[in-house]
């Protein structure tokens, strides 16, 4: 709590009270030793999650560790290992050992792999998988306990049915076995496991809409009501809870969704996937969803699950992870500025001052993605002499409006010297908001680890808090 308070520039007692009241969570499994703790709650900076993990088609521990590194480097506040291919245990162990950010999982994926078919999953197998992952050090788990048998007929008229992987697996299990969702009937036993290892619930929205036409339907809200009940059950067991949300929602309904969840779940942090505000742009869904994510953050969502340009089309590569995280860091920061989070605007002000001073190097350093800003500038004006130039190639030397403005003011004697006023080192900006992103303390991340006799030494920065590192 003290570390979180330091990162967020808040009083430790305020942090403690928010967690005690269930309004914020600190996902921090006792066994996750390399973790730099962070907090998720609407009173704190909006966080971004990146999904990583393998599929049956692509699978290597080194490759997965590189994805983890890329996600953390570009600013992910948490990562979810959604692996469904081979070496699940080894990959999870490697990710936890190497991650300075909380690691989340969806244990039903491993249960399906072990059972070989969704309808062969048993209650015992589910609890076994959950307990094993808790012992390994997973900080939070998506548990789709809110999908009930009674809800399934409500999805019949949908355009895209059940699009959550966990939701569709559980629906098949309930239909084949004629029994209630095992994650629901065993929920209190899961609570006991979570309480022992300090695992946080991420209550999954297995019936989230998969298109605008299905948004805000009876199935979605019936499940949300159950998630509210489960939130209170988990709290009664002393377990931290956040609640997952949609998905695909028209822009005018995003705020209603957030406010509805906050009311039904008594303020438990809302963790939204996007939402996408239009269905027509495959290939650009990091943009369609970042628009919804910004609105969700503005309305009180605490964490945004990123979407990459590959959404609906394929497994993201490194460059897709970068694009997705940039889009979501923008959405999260825009929400923090709009919500007047202490210190959030200082970053914008510092960059604007550098821009008006034509201090190009400082502008690059302050940019959300410094490498991108520098390379775009240098495509046309690469020389060192252009780093102090009073123009760029966008308007050109003759039409640079900021130069014209400054010259005109100089002529009137109104402005002889331009000086930055915003000093981020003494601003109230939370560490989580300082540029560029990815400011996690990685000092506890080991340089190498050994798994099954093989040593892995993935690249990672011990301090990538500055663009020049
Ligand atoms: S040339 Fe145009 S875009 Fe470039 S610095 Fe001047 S005003 Fe800004």
> Mean pLDDT across the chain, nearest whole number?
92
Q: What integer pLDDT is reported at residue 223 of this predicted model?
A: 98
CA-proximal residue: ligand 1, atom 3 (nearest): 394
Q: What integer pLDDT is reported at residue 439 of this predicted model?
A: 66
pLDDT at 258 > cutoff 90 = yes
Residue 456 covered by a domain? no
pLDDT at 456 > cutoff 80 = no
Question: Which atom of ligand 1 is nearest to 358's Cα?
Answer: 5
289 is in an annotated binding site: no
Residue 443 covered by a domain? no
**pLDDT higher for 468 or 286?**
286
Give the pLDDT band (50/70/90) at residue 287.
Answer: very high
Q: What integer pLDDT is reported at residue 458 of this predicted model?
A: 61
Last residue of a domain, one of 339, 362, 378: 339
Q: What is the maximum alpha-carbon separation in the chain?
A: 83
pLDDT in tens, 308-364: 999 999 888 889 999 999 999 999 999 999 999 988 999 999 999 999 999 999 999
Q: What integer pLDDT is reported at residue 411 of this predicted model?
A: 76
pLDDT at 443 > cutoff 90 = no
Q: How far is the CA of 414 from the centre of ligand 1 (A)?
A: 21
166 is in an annotated binding site: yes
Same domain, 14 and 88: yes
What is the arithmetic mean of pLDDT over 118-129?
96
144 is in an annotated binding site: yes
365, 370, 376, 379 alpha-carbon torsion, rounded to 10°: 70
Question: Which atom of ligand 1 is nearest to 401's Cα?
Answer: 7
Helix (H) or strand (E) holding 190: helix 187-197
Same domain, 332 and 349: no
What is the arithmetic mean of pLDDT over 159-165?
96
pLDDT at 170 > cutoff 90 = yes
Question: Which atom of ligand 1 is nearest to 403's Cα?
Answer: 6
Are the CB atoms for 160 and 98 separated by under 8 Å? no
pLDDT in tens, 204-257: 999 999 999 999 999 999 999 999 999 999 999 999 999 999 999 999 999 999
Report the C-alpha gap between 197 and 180 in whole angstroms: 27
Counting the structural domains of the chain, the total is 2
Report the C-alpha gap between 71 and 51 in whole angstroms: 8
The distance from CA 35 to its chain's CA centroid, rounded to whole angstroms, is 16
Q: How far is the CA of 290 from the centre of ligand 1 (A)?
A: 27
Same domain, 284 and 354: no
Last residue of a domain, one of 339, 359, 378: 339
Residue 81 covered by a domain? yes
Residue 277 gets the label, from left (phi > 0), alpha (psi -120 to 50) or beta, of alpha
CATH number for position 319: 3.20.20.540
Same domain, 222 and 353: no
Residue 437 covered by a domain? no
Same domain, 191 and 247: yes
Q: What integer pLDDT is reported at residue 438 of this predicted model?
A: 61
Q: What integer pLDDT is reported at residue 433 of this predicted model?
A: 62
- The residues lining ligand 1, judged by C-beta closer than 6 Å to any ligand atom, are 391-392, 394-395, 400-402
Same domain, 95 and 155: yes
Same domain, 257 and 395: no
pLDDT at 175 > cutoff 90 = yes
Tell me whether residue 111 is exposed, middle or buried, using C-beta atoms within 10 angstroms of its C-beta: 0 to 12, 13 to 18, 19 or more.
buried
Same domain, 274 and 374: no
Strand partners of residue 24: 41
Q: What integer pLDDT is reported at residue 455 of this predicted model?
A: 81
pLDDT at 32 > cutoff 60 = yes
Give the pLDDT band (50/70/90) at residue 415.
Answer: low
Residue 151 covered by a domain? yes
Same domain, 211 and 128: yes
Tell me whether residue 135 is exposed, middle or buried, using C-beta atoms within 10 angstroms of its C-beta: 0 to 12, 13 to 18, 19 or more.
middle
Q: What integer pLDDT is reported at residue 62 of this predicted model?
A: 86
pLDDT at 120 > cutoff 70 = yes
Q: What integer pLDDT is reported at residue 462 of this predicted model?
A: 42
Q: How far is the CA of 133 from the centre of ligand 1 (A)?
A: 53
Report the C-alpha gap between 439 and 249 in whole angstroms: 32
Percentage with pLDDT > 70 across the chain: 93
What is the arithmetic mean of pLDDT over 412-438?
70
Structure tokens at 439: 């400011």
Whole-model pTM over 0.85: yes
Average the pLDDT over each of 217-221, 296-300, 452-456 and give the range with the smallest value: 452-456
What is the arithmetic mean of pLDDT over 282-298?
98
Structure tokens at 404: 């014209």
Give the pLDDT band (50/70/90) at residue 429.
Answer: low
Are the CB atoms for 430 and 45 separated by under 8 Å? yes
Beta-sheet pairing, 241-245 with 47-52: unpaired
Residue 204 covered by a domain? yes
Residue 380 covered by a domain? yes
Report the C-alpha gap between 281 and 313 in whole angstroms: 11
Q: How far is CA 310 from CA 155, 281, 283, in A?
A: 26, 11, 6
Same domain, 47 and 167: yes
Residue 166 covered by a domain? yes
Are the CB atoms for 437 and 327 separated by under 8 Å? no
pLDDT in tens, 396-412: 999 999 999 999 988 76
Report the C-alpha gap between 435 and 367 in whole angstroms: 7
Same domain, 329 and 423: no
Structure tokens at 69: 């590194």
Same domain, 160 and 238: yes
| Pocket probe mutation, ligand 1, options 354, 400, 404, 418, max atoms within 8 Å of Cβ | 400
Which residue matches tokens 């730099």?
A: 36
Q: How far is CA 157 from CA 214, 231, 275, 379, in A?
A: 9, 28, 21, 52
Give the pLDDT band (50/70/90) at residue 468.
Answer: very low
Q: How far is the CA of 381 from the centre of ligand 1 (A)?
A: 13
pLDDT at 50 > cutoff 70 = yes
Strand partners of residue 48: 304
Question: What is the domain extent for residue 236?
Answer: 1-339
Q: What integer pLDDT is reported at residue 467 of this predicted model?
A: 31
pLDDT at 466 > cutoff 50 = no
Are the CB atoms for 187 and 145 separated by under 8 Å? yes
């Amino acid at each position: 709590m003290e570390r979180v308070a330091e990162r967020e520039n808040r009083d430790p007692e305020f942090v403690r009270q928010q967690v005690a009241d269930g309004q914020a969570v600190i996902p921090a499994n006792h066994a996750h030793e390399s973790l730099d703790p962070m907090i998720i709650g609407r009173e704190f900076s909006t966080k971004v999650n990146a999904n990583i993990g393998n599929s049956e088609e692509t699978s290597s521990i080194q490759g997965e560790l590189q994805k983890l590194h890329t996600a953390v480097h570009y600013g992910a506040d948490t990562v979810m290992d959604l692996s469904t291919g081979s070496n699940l245990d080894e990959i999870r162990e490697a990710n936890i050992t190497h991650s300075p950010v909380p690691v989340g999982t969806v244990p039903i994926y491993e249960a399906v792999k072990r059972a070989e078919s969704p309808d062969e999953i048993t209650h015992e197998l589910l609890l076994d998988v959950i307990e094993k992952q808790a012992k390994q050090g997973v900080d939070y788990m998506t548990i789709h306990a809110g999908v009930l048998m009674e809800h399934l007929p409500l999805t019949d008229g949908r355009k895209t049915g059940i699009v959550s992987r966990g939701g569709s697996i559980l629906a098949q299990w309930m239909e084949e076995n004629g029994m209630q969702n095992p994650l629901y009937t065993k929920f209190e036993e899961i609570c006991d496991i979570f309480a022992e290892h300090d695992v946080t619930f991420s209550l999954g929205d297995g019936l989230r809409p998969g298109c605008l036409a299905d948004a805000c339907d009876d199935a979605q809200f019936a499940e949300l009501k159950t998630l509210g009940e489960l939130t209170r059950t988990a709290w009664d067991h002393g377990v931290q809870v956040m609640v997952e949300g949609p998905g695909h929602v028209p822009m005018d309904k995003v705020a209603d969704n957030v406010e509805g969840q906050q009311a039904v779940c008594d303020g438990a942090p809302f963790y939204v996937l996007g939402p996408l505000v239009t269905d027509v742009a495959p290939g650009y869904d990091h943009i369609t969803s970042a628009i919804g994510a910004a609105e969700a953050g503005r309305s009180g969502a605490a964490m945004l699950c990123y979407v990459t340009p590959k959404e609906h089309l394929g497994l993201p590569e490194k460059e897709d992870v970068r694009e997705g995280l940039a889009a979501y860091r923008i959405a999260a920061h825009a929400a923090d500025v709009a919500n007047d989070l202490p210190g959030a605007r200082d970053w914008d002000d510092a960059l604007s001052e550098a821009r008006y001073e034509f201090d190009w190097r400082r502008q690059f350093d302050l940019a959300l993605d410094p490498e991108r800003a520098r390379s775009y500038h240098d495509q046309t004006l690469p020389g060192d002499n252009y780093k102090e130039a009073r123009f760029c190639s966008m308007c050109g030397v003759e039409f640079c409006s900021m130069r014209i403005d400054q010259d005109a003011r100089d002529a009137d004697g109104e402005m002889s010297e331009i000086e930055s006023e915003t000093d981020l080192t003494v601003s109230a900006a939370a560490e989580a908001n300082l540029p560029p992103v990815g400011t996690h303390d990685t000092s506890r991340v080991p340089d190498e680890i050994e798994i099954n006799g093989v040593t892995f030494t993935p690249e990672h920065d011990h301090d990538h808090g500055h663009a020049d590192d």
